[in-house]
Structure 1
Amino acid sequence: MDRAIKKKKWGAKRLLTIAGITALVLLIAGSFYFTSGKSRLNVNTERITISEIKKGTFQEFIPVNGVVLPITTIYLDATEGGRVEEKYVEDGAVMTKGQPIMRLSNTDLELSLVNQETSVFNLLTQMQISRNAAQQNTITKLTQMTDADNALTEAERVYRLNKHLYEQKAISLQEYKQALNDYNYKLEKKNLSRQVLRQDSVSVKQELDQAGQSYQRTQNALQLMRKKVGDLIVRAPVDGQLTSLDVEIGQNKNKGERLGQLDVLSGFKVRVDVDEHYISRIFTGLSGEFTFADKNYQLKITKVYTQVTSGRFQVDMEFAGEVPKGIRRGQTLQIRLALSDETQALLLPKGGFYQQTGGNWIFKLSENGSIAYKTDIQVGRQNPDYYEILQGLKPGDKVVTSSYENYGDMQELVLKKD
């Protein structure tokens, strides 16, 4: 007799089906949970840089390099061209004013000096001859004046005598008139002689003045020529150190060619190269700071060269206060050139995050430090060390300042330690 077998309620097949359906539901639910929320990325804290926002003194400055130069440099150019015959000193020598440096030779210039001296001598001789002739002519005129004066005296005596005799009826009218005419003639001749002598004196004076002026001009030309020949010996114009001397014996130097330079040792300045991007913000009076032998020193801009070459322009800075001991010409200094005064601000240390965010946002850590989430910020000024934070952060906040290159579009970083 057959017996009915009771079917099991929870068979193995059924249990497997239920388990599969449950796993699928959980997978869908988990996928929905993780995709419907914020995108996250696990990050090892040892591979990132975490910085703290602090309030402190902020100053906008740029790092620049400067070269130490003498405060005054005088360039030595060839006043006259010529061949280098002698060198009295070598490059680097400390000179005193007027000390000879080298001697040039120029035969054309020396020949011109001889010709000029000859011209002066000839002119002087001609002037002496002219002066002697003028003096002789004056003596002749004076002699004629004396003769006229003597003749007038005699004619006057005869006239007065004849006048008296004529009044006494002792001589005729004819004799009296003859004496009168002779007297008037001698009187007129004397007046004429006096006028000629006066004109002669004026003429001689003018000639002597003109000759003297001509002689003076020739003498000036001679002195100038002697100076030009004297300039063939190049001398130090001031006390200082001779540098960049580029001459060799036998070498020909043209007029105006650079021979070297003389550095005045009374002080130093610093010549600084600045990027043209800052040209509108650089002016005299701005200060800079550098460190030398573990001590800070101050500089001030005294001159701005506005000519831009290869994207850069130059400024001169002088020491404000103490000058470092042991500093040398040609030495390079790393200077922090201030573009603003010191102010109080929120300081964010610089880092690689800026390249991806442009300073518009940053990953800020939560209070427990387990998560860093995106936070909008506003960045103001900057210097090589810090950004100035204007909005979005407060003192004590911690942020991720290392590069965000591998974070993509992540909204949050889950911070973990190994």
Structure 2
Amino acid sequence: MRDMATNRDTLAFFPRSPQAAAVESVRPVSATSGASMDQISMTRPPWWRRKTMAWLAVLIAVVAVAVIYSRSARNSLIVDDALVATAVARTESFRDFVPLRGQVEPRSTVFVAALQGGQVARVIATDGMIVTAGQPLAQIFNPQFLVAVTSQEAEITSRLGDISARTLSILRGRRDLEQNTAATEQALADAEDEYGKQKILFDKGIITRPRLDPFEAKRRYYRERLATIRRSSATELAVAAREQSRIRVAESQLDENLTTVRGTRDALMLRAPVAGRLTNFRLQPGQTVAPADNVGQVDSEGSYK
């Protein structure tokens, strides 16, 4: 032991080379040596490793501060003091508004259909406007239909002219009958007057019987003629009355037919069937439509289902 202490003192007095110090620092310590157990072998890390560890510690601290700040920023809100309102807490009813989606449809819808086909000549109404019942919407042009309607109008007008001629003939026949009756009555009155005068002369013996007979025969003739005229006039008037009744019925029917035919001319004008809002109306001038084509619809305004 004394020799080992002397050796350590000698080594401490004489400086050692770096290689010898490194070899001694890594030399294993014998387990049987009690003095070697009291020695602690420590090596200092290099300078670059110490700086790296320091920078890593600083970086970890910065990241930790940033994470803590970001979490606190998400859970906080910075507002102006003037925008903050406070009140006393009290019990109130809670109202929760639930948004709902739905489709509003008109209560009634009437389609606008073309009564006659043809080409759109003029568009009067526009889609989305409020219309009244019977309001014109568009004008249709159909030359074939117009020619047919004009021919029917001419035919009905001609038949009405024939009926008017028949009515005029009946009126003329009645007038002639009345004139004939009046003339016969006047002739009978004259014959009665002449016969009365001649009868007075015959009763006084101034004239003879043969002189009186012609006046009596004339009176008898006009009496029979007047009776015949009255009987025939009654029959003719009854026939004329029935004829006039039939003529009036036929004339009324022809007038209705003429009104209907002229009304079909109005079928070329598209009109609103009811009052409401005009929708799906997209007619354009020059467009061709067929009979019964739906060209739009009129929806009830202010009434929905």
Give the TM-score of the pair, scaled to structure 1: 0.43
For residues 10-409 of structure 1, the aligned pairs below 5 Å read: 67-245=103-281, 247-269=283-305
Moved more, 133-142 or 232-241: 133-142
Greater RCO structure (CA 8 Å; 6+ sep): 2
User: Do the aligned partners of 2:149 and 2:261 also contact (CA within 8 Å) in 1?
Assistant: yes
1:70 match: secondary structure: coil
Deviations 1:282-322 (A, max 9, x none): xxxxxxxxxxxxxxxxxxxxxxxxxxxxxxxxxxxxxxxxx
Within 2, Cα distance between the matches of 1:105 and 1:174? 88
Report the CA distance shift for 1:143/1:96 in structure 2 as closer, same or farther (over 3 A).
closer
1:84 match: secondary structure: strand
User: Do the aligned partners of 1:80 and 1:254 also contact (CA within 8 Å) in 2?
Assistant: yes
Return the offset for 1:179. Answer: 3.4
User: Do the aligned partners of 2:138 and 2:271 also contact (CA within 8 Å) in 1?
Assistant: yes
Deviations 1:54-105 (A, max 9, x none): xxxxxxxxxxx97431011111122222222222334333323333222212
Within 2, Cα distance between the matches of 1:189 and 1:109? 60
Q: 5+ unaligned residues in a row in structure 2: which ranges?
A: 1-100
Q: Which residue of 2 aligns with 1:307?
A: none
Within 1, Cα distance between the matches of 2:164 and 2:125? 47
Q: 5+ unaligned residues in a row in structure 1: which ranges?
A: 1-64, 270-418
Within 1, Cα distance between the matches of 2:229 and 2:107? 74
Report the CA distance shift for 1:199/1:261 in structure 2 as closer, same or farther (over 3 A).
same
Return the offset for 1:153. Answer: 1.5
Deviations 1:307-363 (A, max 9, x none): xxxxxxxxxxxxxxxxxxxxxxxxxxxxxxxxxxxxxxxxxxxxxxxxxxxxxxxxx
Structure (1/2) with the larger strand percentage:
1
Return the offset for 1:258. Answer: 1.7
One-letter amino acid matched to 2:225: K
1:221 match: secondary structure: helix
Report the CA distance shift for 1:139/1:98 in structure 2 as closer, same or farther (over 3 A).
closer
Q: Which residue of 2 aligns with 1:25?
A: none
Give the TM-score of the pair, scaled to structure 2: 0.58
2:304 match: secondary structure: strand
Within 1, Cα distance between the matches of 2:260 and 2:165? 26
User: Do the aligned partners of 1:113 and 1:222 also contact (CA within 8 Å) in 2?
Assistant: no
Say what the alpha-carbon RMSD is for the aligned residues.
Answer: 2.8
User: Do the aligned partners of 1:82 and 1:254 also contact (CA within 8 Å) in 2?
Assistant: yes
Moved over 6 A (4+): none
Identity across the alignment (%): 22
Return the offset for 1:197. Answer: 3.2
Report the CA distance shift for 1:126/1:170 in structure 2 as closer, same or farther (over 3 A).
same
Deviations 1:254-301 (A, max 9, x none): 3222222110112111xxxxxxxxxxxxxxxxxxxxxxxxxxxxxxxx
Within 2, Cα distance between the matches of 1:90 and 1:139? 62
Deviations 1:108-134 (A, max 9, x none): 321133223323432343344334433
Q: Which has the larger radius of gyration?
A: 2
